Amino acid sequence: MRRNSHGDEGFDLSMIRRHLFAALAAACAALALPAGASAQLIEVGSVATEATPSCPSNPCLAVSRTTGYQAKVGERRGLMVIPADGRIVAWTIKLARPGRRQIEYFNSLARGEAIAHITILRTGRRLRARTVAQGEPRRLTPFFGTTVQFALERSIPVEKGQLLALTVPTWAPALAVGLGADTSWRASRARGTCDDTREQTAQTQANQLAQYYCLYKTARLTYSATLVTRAQRANPPRRTTRPR
């Protein structure tokens, strides 16, 4: 664990993976799972190709006052869809390192310092989605220029088919730009408001409904989350009967 001068805590990736594997093993032992029953550790939203978030390049672009999820990366769709029932235990975000003036600009524009948290959505018709659960908001400023993974204080139960989103009530330098036209993300903004980044559209309340009309191409949100799937018992071997 690393603790900075602001008192915030974060984990480097190798350390938290060791903690998660140890926790998973301990949980299985505590539950006395029968032979053949196992859980999986899955990084939802993980993509093989690296993406570097914008800033301090000019223009410096960031996610602002919205909830968003990655819709597509290359030929891969649905990468933020929860693949199995289980619990989200941590989330990861890759952050740019904006300059001092850029930080001051975004703090003023978004009316606060950089903060984000994960949100679980249940999708519906006409690009609408409802909040199912959320993680604790985290201050991001102390971790600018790094990839940081936050362990959740309380793990979030999730179901297969739900959607993993990133909620940014203020702003976050977690947006990679200038990518291919086959890469895109959606934001919780209605028709006619896609260019308005000052209006607060972030889903921050339980059971909140929003429309994800706005699609932003050539850009990628740099976040993911760690899922521990529900343990599944392997099918027992079939019994064979011998003829008498």
Per-residue pLDDT reduced to its tens digit, 15-53:
555 555 554 544 444 444 455 568 899 999 999 888 999
Domain assignment present for residue 238? The answer is no
**The model's pTM:** 0.83
The candidate with the shortest Cα–Cα distance to 89, out of 16, 138, 159, 28, is 16
Domain assignment present for residue 38? The answer is yes
Q: Give the integer Cα–Cα distance in Å for 118 and 84.
A: 18
Q: Residue 208 corresponds to which amino acid?
A: Q
Residue with tokens 């606060």: 112
Domain assignment present for residue 237? The answer is no
More confident residue, 98 or 30: 98
Domain assignment present for residue 239? The answer is no
Domain assignment present for residue 192? The answer is yes
Domain assignment present for residue 242? The answer is no
Dihedral of the alpha carbons of 212, 213, 218, 223, in degrees to the nearest 10: -10
The total of structural domains in the chain comes to 1
Domain assignment present for residue 61? The answer is yes
Domain assignment present for residue 241? The answer is no
